[in-house]
Chains A and B, each alone.
Chain A
Amino acid sequence: MYLLCKWMTKMRSNRLKIVFMLCLAFVTTGGQHFESKVAQLLQDETEHIKCFVEGKDLTCFWEEEEERNHIHDQYTFTYSYEKKNKMACAVSSLYLLASNKTILFCKLPKTPFFTTLDVQVLRDGRMLYTRSLNAENVLFLDPPRNLTVMSSGKEGQLNVSWLPPLLKYMDDSMIYEVRYAVDGSNMGKVEVIKVSTRLVLLGLQSNTRYKVWVRVKPDGVAYKGYWSAWTEPVFGVTPPSDVDPLIVLLVIFIGLILCLLSLTVILSHHKFLLKKLWPDIPTPEHKFPGLFTVYKGDFKEWMSHNNGSMWGRSVPVYTEELPSPLEVLSEVSLTSHGTSQREERKPVEEDEEKESERSDSGLTDRWRDPPHAHWLMEQLRALQENPESRSQSSLLQSHDTYVTLNQGDNEQQVDDVFEETLPLQTLFTTAGTSSLGTSHSDLGSLQQSSGSGRLSSQSSFEYPNHTWPPKGPGYAYMAVADSGVSMDYSPMSSSRIAELGKHRMYTNDYKN
C-alpha cells in the first residue's frame, strides 16, 4: 500500500494526485491532524526521536535519510518501561508532501503515563538513536472545537467561545491562546487564558471585521506538551459606535443657536462692554492743546509758544494786576513786607521760575493781610463775571493741587519760597520733555528723583473761582496745577508747619 502510494506521487496528472490523496488518507490512521502534527514537530523538536501523545497513544518518529531503499525493513524500534523488558514495535513510513520528506514512525497503543519510557531506534542491528521520556510530558492535543465569535452588543467587544479537545482527565489542565486581528491586516494580538473556554475581547475598533484563532496546550503542572495547531479562523464584526447621529445633530444645532445669541448680545452692547473691559485712560490732552502732538510733551517749548495766547485767553483781565489764585493755608505775621511781596502775576510767571509751571495757574507766593479779605471777595465777584477767567478757574478746579508754604522771616521766607519753588522748577525742567511728555502722572516720581522733599504737602485750591488773594504778610501761597492723576508731594518741612499756629492744611492724596 505504501509503495503504491509512493509510486503514485511521481505521477503528475490530477487524477492520480487525487488517488494519492485518498491513499494518504488510508495511510494516516489515528487523528485527522496526525500529519500536521508530524510536520510541525519535524520543525520544532530537536531530538532525533520525536514523540508525541495523541489521545492515549504515543507515536514516535524519526526522519529518514535519503538515498535509502526499502527503508522500513532495516529499522528496528524497541521500547521499555521502568527499565524492564524491551519490546519491539512495527515501523511504518510516511511521505510528507508539503516538505518532501519521509518519516518512519511507530505507535505504542495505550501508553502508561507517569512513568519513564526508554525508546531506541536500531538500523541493521546497530543503535541509531535513543531517548528516555515520560509520556505525560509530550502531549500534542488537537485544536479546540466549535470556535464561535459573536458580538456582545457593547462597543468594541467580541465574545469568543470554544470547546476543548476531546480528552479525559485533562479538561482542567489546559491553557489556551486566542489570536485576533483585523481582517486583512497582519498585525494580530494574542491573549492567554487558563482553563476557561470563553473570552471577551476588549478594546476593538467599532464596526470592524475581525479574524480569530485559538490553540491549546497542557498547562505544565500535571501534564506537559506542545502547542496545538491553530483552529480555522472565524470571523466576527464589532458593533458600530454608540453615538446616535440625531443627538449629535441636535447638539450642534443648539450650539449654533447659542453662539448666534451671544454674538447678538455682544454686538448690541459692544460699546458698553468695551468701556467696562478696556476703560479709557484720561489724558490731559484737551487741557493742553498741542502739548503732546506739536511739542511732543516739551512743556518748556509749549509754554514759550503758548504763553501769550494761553495766558491771554485765560487771564485777559488780570494780566498785570491780578495774581494766580492760591489757597490760604496759614496765617503768620511777617516782619517785613517789602521783599516778601511778590506779585502773582504773569510777569512773575514769565520768569525763569515760571518754567516750572505746568498749568495756567502760576506758581506764586503772596502775602496777604487779613484785612484784605473784602478785596478778595471783590475779586471773586469780578472773576465770576468774567467767563474766560471762569474757564480758567474750571481748569483750575480740575487740576487742583495742594501746596503749602511755610512762612518765617521774609528773607528766610523768600529763601524758603525760593527753595520751595526750586523743587517744582527742577521738577519741570529736569529730564526735559521726556519726563513730562511720557506721563503726566510722573510728577511724583520726578519729585522723588530730584530728591526734593521740600515741597510742602499738597495745597488745595479752595476757592472755586479763580481768585487772586490779595497780597499780605503772613501768608504764603503757592498754586500748582497738575493733571490731577498722580501728583504726590511729600509733606515738606512738617516741623516748620508745626511751628505755625493754627493752620489749615489741606492735603490731597494722589495716588501714583
Chain B
Amino acid sequence: MFHGSGLFALLLIVLEWTRPGLSSPLRPICDLRVLDHFIKEAWDAEAAMRACKDACSIATNFTVPLTRVDFDVWEAMNIEERAQEVQSGLHVLNEAISSLQASNQTDVLQSHIDASISNIASIRQVLRSLSIPEYVPPTSGGEDKEMQIVSSISELFQVHINFLRGKVRLLLANAPVCHQGVS
C-alpha cells in the first residue's frame, strides 16, 4: 500500500516538473458563487478579528490596497487596468496577511489567517481561468498603485473583505470570457 502511494506521489512530482512552461488553459470559472464562498469566509474572519480587538493588537502597520470603487471611474477603466488594480491589490493583501502568520495568535485566529491566504491563492486561480492578466510588479520608472496604511488587524481584515466584495467581484462579474456568448 505504501509503495503504491509513494509511487503515485513520485509520478505526480515528475509530471509537475515536466509540465510545460505555459499552463494549459483552465476551464473559465464564471460562476460568482465560487467567489461568494470566499467572501463569506472573509466575513467570518472579519467578524472574528473585530471581536478580539485587544488581543489582536499589533504594533506594526500594514500596507493595504484601496478598496474604494467609484462606479463612474470603474466603468471608464478597461480590462487591463482593472486587472492590474485587482492583481496588485491581491498581492499586497497577501503579503500583509502572510506577515501575521509568524506572530503568535490563537488557534481560531490562526485558522482564519490561513484560510484567507489560501482563498487569495484560489482567487488568483479563478482569475487565471478567466484569462485575466497576472500581476506585474511595477518597473522602477512606473507608478505604484495607491495604497493605504492600517494599524490594526481588524482594520486589515476590513480592507480584505471590502476588497474582495468590491473590485475583485466587479472584475469577475464583468470578465470578457464569461460574456462572450452574450451580445
* Given A169-B173, A222-B39, CB of A56 within 8 Å of CB of B71: yes
CB distance from B89 to the nearest CB of A (A): 11
Q: Does A81 contact B (CB under 8 A)?
A: yes
A253 to B47, CA, bound (A): 71
Which A71-97 residues sit within 8 Å CB-CB of chain B? 81-82
Stretch at the interface among B14-22, B98-106, B158-166: B158-166
Confirm or deny: B36 has a beta carbon within 8 angstroms of a beta carbon on chain A: yes
Chain B interface, >50% SS class: helix
Q: Is residue B40 within 8 Å, beta carbon to beta carbon, of the partner chain?
A: yes
Query: Quick check: is A510 within 8 A (CB to CB) of the other chain?
Result: no
Binds B, one of A109-117, A175-183, A225-233, A391-399: A109-117
- A411 within 8 Å of B (CB atoms): no
Closest beta carbon of chain A to B174's beta carbon, Å: 8
Give min CB distance, A80 to chain B, whole Å: 12
Selected contact of B166 from candidates A56, A110, A114, A172, CB within 8 Å? A114
Q: Is the interface of A mostly helix, strand, loop or mixed?
A: loop
Q: Is the CB of A136 within 8 A of B166?
A: yes
Shortest CB distance B93–A (Å):
14
With contact pairs A56-B71, A82-B148, A221-B39 given, residues A115 and B173 touching in the complex (Cβ less than 8 Å): no
Give the residues in chain B near A110, CB-CB below 8 Å: 70-72
Across chains A and B, the number of contacting residue pairs, with CB separation under 8 Å, is: 48
Given A112-B69, A112-B70, A115-B162, A169-B170 contact (CB < 8 Å): yes
Inter-chain contact A114/B70, CB cutoff 8 Å: no
Pick from A112, A114, A136, A221: contact of B36, CB under 8 Å:
A221
Instruction: Point out the residues of chain A lying under 8 angstroms from B70, CB to CB.
Output: 110, 112
Please, what's the 1-or-0 string for B69-83, where 1 marks a CB less than 8 Å from any CB in chain A?
Answer: 111100000000000
Chain A interface size, under 10 / 10 to 19 / 20 to 34 / 35 or more: 10 to 19
B69 touches A114 (CB 8 A): yes
Instruction: Let me know if B68 and A112 touch, CB within 8 A.
Output: yes
**Is B11 in the interface zone, CB < 8 Å from A?**
no
Q: Given the complex of chains A and B, what is the CA–CA distance between A155 and B71 in angstroms?
A: 48
Residues of B within 8 A of A114 (CB): 67-69, 162-163, 165-167
B32 close to chain A: CB less than 8 A: yes
Residue B169 at the A interface, CB < 8 A?
yes
Residues of A in contact with B (beta carbons under 8 Å apart): 56, 81-82, 110, 112-116, 134, 136, 168-169, 172, 221-223
Question: Please, could you name 6 A-B residue pairs with CB atoms under 8 Å apart, sorted by A?
Answer: A113-B166, A115-B66, A115-B67, A116-B158, A169-B71, A172-B32
List the interface of chain B (C-beta within 8 A of A). 32, 36, 39-40, 43, 66-72, 148, 158, 162-163, 165-167, 169-170, 173
The 7 closest A-B pairs by CB, nearest first: A114-B166, A115-B68, A114-B162, A114-B67, A112-B68, A221-B36, A113-B69
